[in-house]
Amino acid sequence: MNNLLLVRHTETDMAGLFCGHSDPELNDRGRRQLAGVVDRLAEYAIQRIYTSDLRRARQTAEVIASRYGIGFEVRPGLREIHFGDWEGLSWSEVEVRDATLAQRWVERHPDVTPTGGESLQQFERRVCTECAFLFVAATERPIAVVAHAGFMRVLLTTFYGVLEEEAWKLTREYGSVVVLDTELIRKSTPEESASQVCEGPGEERSIIGQATLL
């Protein structure tokens, strides 16, 4: 039962830059990409939509909601990771402006956080909190979740045992749609699944699941 559809927002003018909590609108290319997203979702009987509160996600969700004739719920916890002082910069600009931290980030990632940003550990905890809610919601009806690449990658690697390289491939394109079956996460309740995986030892993080890219 494919009851959880993850949707990455479409393109903005900040493509290629660090764009976490920055809040750009969709650009012209992003708005054109929306038709393809709607087409890929058409075969699924989506009954509820949840979206990040950032404009690029909300604008994507609005078009999907209009197609299905339903509303959507805004959830700030679905935001991308916050890149702090690196927001709006390209990697080459980061290397010039913040050379020492940039070098440490390359050498020690994910244990280094941009100044003013969100650590990976903080981000993962936030994703886990949201997933506890989403997995319950998806047991009640098919749902679509409009979010960001980073959020989707953490969900896929943490709860579905997807390798990081594969998670990058699944979410690389703007407007990516990944179809999931929440029944394959664990044979426990969704709330227990989220807490056990997020709080358990490292070996608990590899879970058999199913992820399909549309």
Report, as residue numbers or ranges, the catalytic residues: 9, 80
CA distance 171 to 153: 7
Q: Pull the structure tokens for residue 166.
A: 């594969």
SS3 category, 106:
helix
CA distance 98 to 172: 26
Cis omega (within 30 of 0) for bond into 24: no
Closest CA to 62 of 112, 26, 16: 26
Helix (H) or strand (E) holding 177: strand 177-180
Beta bridge partners of 49: 72, 144
